[in-house]
Amino acid sequence: MDIRLSDEQRMLIDIATRLGTDLAPSGVAGLAAATRSAGDAAGWSSLVETGLIALHVPAERGGGGGRTVDVALVAEQLAAALVPVPYVGAAVWAPTLLAAAGAADAVEAVAAGSLRLAPVLRPDLGGLARLGEPGIAFDTQGADAGLLLDADGTPHAIAMAASDSASHEGGSGRGGVAVVSADLTRSVRVVPADAPVADLPVRLGGPLDGDARTRADAVVLAILAADLLGVMGRALDDAVAYVGQREQFGVPVGSFQAVQHLAAHAATLVEGARSSMWHAAWAADELPADAALLAARQAKAFCAAAARDVGETAIQLLGGIGLTWEHLAHVRQRRILLARRVLGDEQAQYAAIAAARLTPRSAAAPHASAAPHGAGQARGETHPAPVGSI
Amino acid sequence: MDFFDTAPEAEFRAELRAWLAAHRPAPLPSDPEGRVEALGAWHRALAAAGYVGLAFPQAYGGRGLPPTFEAVLNDELGLGGFPPPPAIHHITNAIRLFGSDEQKARHLPSMLACTERWCQGFSEPNAGSDLASVRTRGTRGPGRDGAEIYTIDGQKIWTSEAIWSQWCLLLCRTEPDASAHRGLSMLLVPLDTPGVECRPIVTAGGSREFAEVFFAGAEVPAANLLGEPGQGWAIAMQLLGYERGPGDIGWVARLMRMLTLLEEDIRAGRVVTDESGRRQVARAWVTLEALRLHVARTLSSRLDGSLPGSEGSIDKLLVTEADQVLNHVIMDLRGASPLVADEAWLDAYFWSRAQSLFGGTQQVQRTIVAQRVLGLPR
């Protein structure tokens, strides 16, 4: 094993960090729905030109030929900068489903920036909605249509209104109705059960089998973990910088142990989250689908729990200023609260992990034994079940 | 970034797994003294088979392997439910990094063979978290036969495994005129030296794990100085860097074993729980897995030959969290058993409380992270 960033990965992080700086909102005012929409097209073309859309999809399926780890590192940096573009939904999730469905032309259109699709989730945000069910379209900014699967796992596109800037009182008719999103950096829309199918110039491919859906879930969970990591990491960085210079009692408040220990605990969570996320993103490409999903659930669970804590710690460290509308701290926390819910928060992951790991061996899927790094593939047989006291 | 085994790691893993399958020890006795003895035998068996000191030079009985092999060892022991490896690599590395050729040749082979045990004489009644205020003195001068010696006077406390050890790595004040940190040196002290007395302290879990160690005019040759006079603090800090490494010290294996046994008991119906309990187990796995992956990342960061530094305190904080979360779940799900039948679980629970004390308290670790990793003002 060699769990270090390669030179290429460091370069990619630099590129994504620079893009993030360029595309970051100019404070909370820059996140008003109208302002956001105005800057969106330019932001999206920057991502297209840099080749960051559908980057993880193999070239023969219309993507950029990179790895899920690459996309995760990009998603982390864009989230850290609170860039209000639908990277997770439109640049990762939708092309992941389309690639699995064999729709190379559609992936190519997505990567070229000529097609933007927003995944449609169940109303509880815990998974993709099915065709014919009501849902919430996620990351709808600039979306041409919503994307969901039917009962057979075949992708379908759902018509969307023309613009997200309509806001909650002005949803225009045909498909999704824009609603207020708690997360000021993302747009969402309510999709009625009878939303009409969208007429797209490309076909969206055939049904995804169980394995393909499992792997797609693993990819998206890993990227959501990366998004959470990016937001919490920057939240902590900002709070640490603040307590380092904010003075009370004639000294920086960051010199007090009570303050230092809050920050140190948060830093511990951030690094545990990073190690978990790297593994999940790596596993999404390298391990069998079930093991990849388990790794992704581990990372999502850890990051969902950690991000809320770290975001709250950052607000505590900032004092009252952190709870004002003008400060980005609440924007971060809003993004964390939405991302932790999408595809299930830590409690949902614990339930799924328990089902996978604690089911009696005879009835369990082959992955039921732990899938450690490397060993998941390297080992031909599992250990005999250990019995007894410690 | 590659979590797969390299070819040599895979080969090592397969070889280790085969050896383990053929050498599973009997369940450890639940009485503390019996456990110490059984663990000692297990460690000697591991050592004889070449599984202790993986990253140490072959000349000293190690394998000369990269640090990531320690992660493989922790995985295989922990996932297989085997007892953990010996927690010795804080002391072995101190001697490897700072010892003379003679000291390394004399001590490393027996340490790695687990035939000689060492304890670490750091804390004193008035020098706990404030380690630099150590008062135990080592006074240098000619001995009765004229050879240079150190004469040691003072007292150590919380000295782990002292009563079962033959040697003590002793932090003491040898340069009384130097400032607090610069006045310290490290001595290698045989515990059978006249003037050394160990009195066990029974832990909350019932084990004689700790001891007070008294020094009254104990004499050791000046050749037993590790490193240079006044280098004691630097050696202690490097040693603590390894002691805080949950992969170096075997804690990952220890915790994975406890979780593996709990999960197996649930799958087999020997421990019955509801959905809330199952989620708690999953949470413990998530926490422990984050630790395991983080430790693998830390060991990888040392593939370039670098040594553990301040960021190792993050690893220590993660292992503390994992240990304490896990032992809560174990106590909750195993019901009355730890309270009325199997005292080993209760001992493990109290150990998890010690995890936030030894090697520097959780609070000391947080201060290190805040000041040396995050750069907050002192």
Query: What single string gives the DSSP state of each residue in B130-181?
Result: -GGG---EEEEEE-TTS-EEEEEEEEE-S-TTGGG-SEEEEEEE--TTS-TT
pLDDT of residue A164: 53
Quote the tokens at residue B146: 């004229």
Instruction: Calculate how close chain B gets to A316, using CA atoms only, in Å.
Output: 16
Q: Which residues, given as ranges, of chain B have pLDDT below 70?
A: none
One-letter amino acid of A306: A
A383/B17 touch (CB, cutoff 8 Å), yes or no: yes
Contact B5 A1 (CB under 8 A): yes
Out of B9, B280, B293, whose CB is closest to A279?
Answer: B293
* B79 inside 8 A of chain A by CB: yes
Determine contact: B223 vs chain A, CB below 8 A: no
Preferred mutation among B297, B303, B347, B362 to probe A, highest tally of A CBs within 10 A:
B297
Specify the DSSP element, H or E, that contains B210: strand B210-221
> B377–A350: do the CB atoms touch at under 8 Å?
no
Residue of A nearest to B269 (CA): A360
pLDDT at A373 over 60: no
The nearest alpha carbon in chain A to B285 belongs to A298
| Residue B155 C-alpha, separation from nearest chain A C-alpha, in angstroms | 30
Task: Give the one of B281, B303, B369 whose C-beta lies nearest to A268's C-beta.
Answer: B369
In the Cβ-directed half-sphere of A351, how many Cα atoms lie within 13 Å? Answer: 8
Whether A116 and A173 have beta carbons less than 8 Å apart is answered as no
Distance CA A53, CA A68 (A): 12
Q: What is the pLDDT of residues A305-336, one digit of tens each?
A: 999 999 999 999 999 999 999 999 999 999 99
Q: How far apart are alpha carbons B212 and A237 in whole angstroms?
A: 43
Structure tokens at A329: 């701290």
**Is the pLDDT at A381 greater than 60, yes or no?**
no
pLDDT value at A166 more than 90: no
Beta bridge partners of B199: B212
CA–CA separation, A2 and B2 (whole Å): 5
Decide: helix, strand or coil at residue B193: coil
Sign (positive/negative) of CA torsion A98, A101, A105, A108?
positive
Main-chain dihedrals φ then ψ at residue A130, nearest 5 degrees: -100, 150
Neighbours of A246 (CB within 10 A): 15
* Residue B247: predicted pLDDT: 84
Pick from A12, A260, A345, A362 the residue to mutate for testing the B interface (most B CBs within 10 Å).
A260
C-beta atoms surrounding A45 within 10 Å: 11
Nearest residue of chain A to residue B318 (CA atoms): A268
Identify whether the C-beta of residue A110 lies closer than 8 Å to the C-beta of residue A46: no
Interface test with A, best of B2, B3, B342 (most A CBs within 10 A): B3
Question: Which of chain A's residues have a Cβ under 8 Å away from the Cβ of B27?
Answer: 388-389
Q: How many C-beta neighbours within 10 Å does residue A187 have?
A: 30
- Mean pLDDT over all residues of chain A? 90
Q: Measured between CB atoms, does B248 come within 8 Å of chain A? A: no
Under a CB-based contact definition with an 8 Å cutoff, are residues A196 and A184 in contact?
Answer: no
pLDDT of the residue at A276:
98
Q: B368 contacts in A (CB within 8 Å)?
A: 264
Contact partners, residue B166, CB within 8 Å, separation at least 6: B116, B117, B118, B190, B191, B192
Q: Which token pair is B216?
A: 């009254």
SS3 state of residue B49? coil
Instruction: Kindly determine whether residue B75 and residue A372, on different chains, have CB atoms separated by under 8 Å.
Output: yes
Reading the block at residue B320, the tokens are 């503390």
Which of B311, B317, B374 is nearest residue A263 as measured by Cβ atoms? B374
- pLDDT class of A363 with cuts at 50, 70, 90: low
**C-beta separation of B343 from B335 below 8 A:** no
Question: Testing the interface with A: which of B28, B286, B323, B343 to mutate, by most A Cβ within 10 A?
Answer: B286
Q: Quick count: other Cβ atoms within 10 Å of Cβ A47? A: 23
Respond yes or no: is residue B102 known to be catalytic. no
| pLDDT at A134 exceeding the cut of 80 | yes
Chain B closest-CA separation from residue A149 CA (Å)? 29
Contact B201/A at CB under 8 A:
no
d(CA B275, CA B40) in angstroms, rounded, equals 39
Taking CA–CA distances from B4, the nearest residue in chain A reads A374
Closest partner residue to A268 (CB to CB) among B27, B317, B375 is B317
Closest CB to B27: pick one of A350, A357, A389.
Answer: A389
User: Do the Cβ atoms of A117 and A169 come closer than 8 Å?
Assistant: no
Confidence band of A370 (pLDDT split at 50, 70, 90): very low
Which tens digits make up the pLDDT trace of B98-115?
A: 999 999 999 999 999 999
d(CA B113, CA B168): 17
- The three state secondary structure string of chain A is CECCCCHHHHHHHHHHHHHHHHHCCCCHHHHCHHHHHHHHHHHHHHHHHHCCCCCCCCHHHCCCCCCHHHHHHHHHHHHHCCCCCCHHHHHHHHHHHHHHCCCHHHHHHHHCCCCCEEEEECCCCCCECECCCCEEEECCCCCCEEEEECCCCCEEEEEECCCHHHCHHHCCCCCEEEECCCCCCCCEEEECCCCCECCCCCCCCCCCCHHHHHHHHHHHHHHHHHHHHHHHHHHHHHHHHHHHHCEECCEEHHHCHHHHHHHHHHHHHHHHHHHHHHHHHHHHHHCCHHHHHHHHHHHHHHHHHHHHHHHHHHHHHHHHHHHCCCCCHHHHHHHHHHHHHCCCCHHHHHHHHHHHHCCCHHHCCHHHCCCCCCHHHHCCCCCCCCCCCC
Backbone angles phi, psi at B339, to 5 degrees: -95, -30
Mark yes or no for CB contact A389/B282 under 8 Å. no
Residue B300 contacts A, CB cutoff 8 Å: yes
B371·A268 Cβ contact <8 A? no
* pLDDT, position A163: 56
Give the C-alpha separation, A317 to A306, whole Å.
16
In angstroms, the separation between the Cα of residue A137 and the nearest Cα of chain B is 29
Which residue shows structure tokens 């406390």? B157
Instruction: Compare CB distances from A360 to B28, B81, B267 and report the shortest one's residue.
Output: B267
Helix H or strand E encompassing B336: none
Select from B268, B279, B374 the Cβ nearest to the Cβ of A264.
Answer: B374
pLDDT recorded at residue B201:
95
Q: Write out chain B residues lying below 8 Å of A251, CB-based.
A: 377
Q: SS3 of B186, please? A: strand
Which chain A residues are Cβ-neighbours of B267 within 8 angstroms? 358-361, 364, 385
A263/B293 CB distance under 8 A: no
At residue B218, the 3 state secondary structure works out as strand
Structure-model confidence comparison of residues A229 and A367, the more confident one: A229
Write down the catalytic residue from B243, B264, B275, B343.
B243
d(Cα B264, Cα B238) in Å, to the nearest integer? 38
Distance from the Cα of B123 to chain A's closest Cα (Å) equals: 23
**Taking CB atoms and an 8 Å limit, are B377 and A372 in contact across chains?**
no
**Structure-token pair, residue B10:** 């895979």
Can you tell me whether residue B219 is helix, strand or coil?
strand
Q: What is the DSSP string of B271-314?
A: S---HHHHHHHHHHHHHHHHHHHHHHHHHHHTTTS----TTHHH
List the structure tokens of B191: 């515990």
Predicted pLDDT at B115: 97
Q: Which of B248, B330, B244 is nearest to B287 (CA)?
A: B330
Q: Which residues contact A199 (CB under 8 A, 6 or more apart)?
A: A159
Question: Who contacts A288 (Cβ-Cβ below 8 Å, separation ≥6)?
Answer: A367, A376, A377
**What three-state secondary structure class fits B262?**
helix
Alpha-carbon span A73 to A179, nearest angstrom: 30
Residue A382 pLDDT class (50, 70, 90 cuts)? very low
CA–CA gap between residue A356 and residue A210 (Å, rounded): 16
Residue type, B322: A
Contact A5/B282, CB-based, under 8 Å? no
CB contact under 8 A, B348 and A3: no
**Rounded CA gap, B368 and A263, in Å?**
11
Could you report the per-residue pLDDT of A50-102, keeping only the tens digit for each? Answer: 999 999 999 999 999 999 999 999 999 999 999 999 999 999 999 999 999 99
- pLDDT per position as a tens digit, A188-228: 999 999 999 998 999 999 999 999 999 999 999 999 999 99
- φ, ψ of residue B199 in degrees (nearest 5): -120, 120
Which of B1, B281, B297 shows the shortest C-beta gap to A69?
B1
pLDDT of A175: 63
Phi and psi for B140 in degrees, rounded to 5?
Answer: -90, 140
Among the partner-chain residues B3, B348, B370, the one whose CB lies closest to the CB of A260 is: B370
Digit-coded pLDDT (tens) for A236-268? 999 999 999 999 999 999 999 999 999 999 999
Is the CB of A372 less than 8 angstroms away from the CB of B292? yes
Phi-psi region of A141 (alpha: psi -120 to 50; beta: other; left: phi over 0): beta
**Please, are residues A304 and A226 in contact by the beta-carbon 8 Å criterion?**
no
Residues of A in contact with B42 (CB under 8 A): none
Optimal mutation site among B310, B376, B378, interface A, most CBs of chain A within 10 A: B376
DSSP secondary structure code for residue B212 in this structure: E
CB contact under 8 A, B4 and A255: no
pLDDT number for residue B233? 97
Residues of chain B contacting A268 with CB distance shorter than 8 Å: 314, 317-318, 321, 369
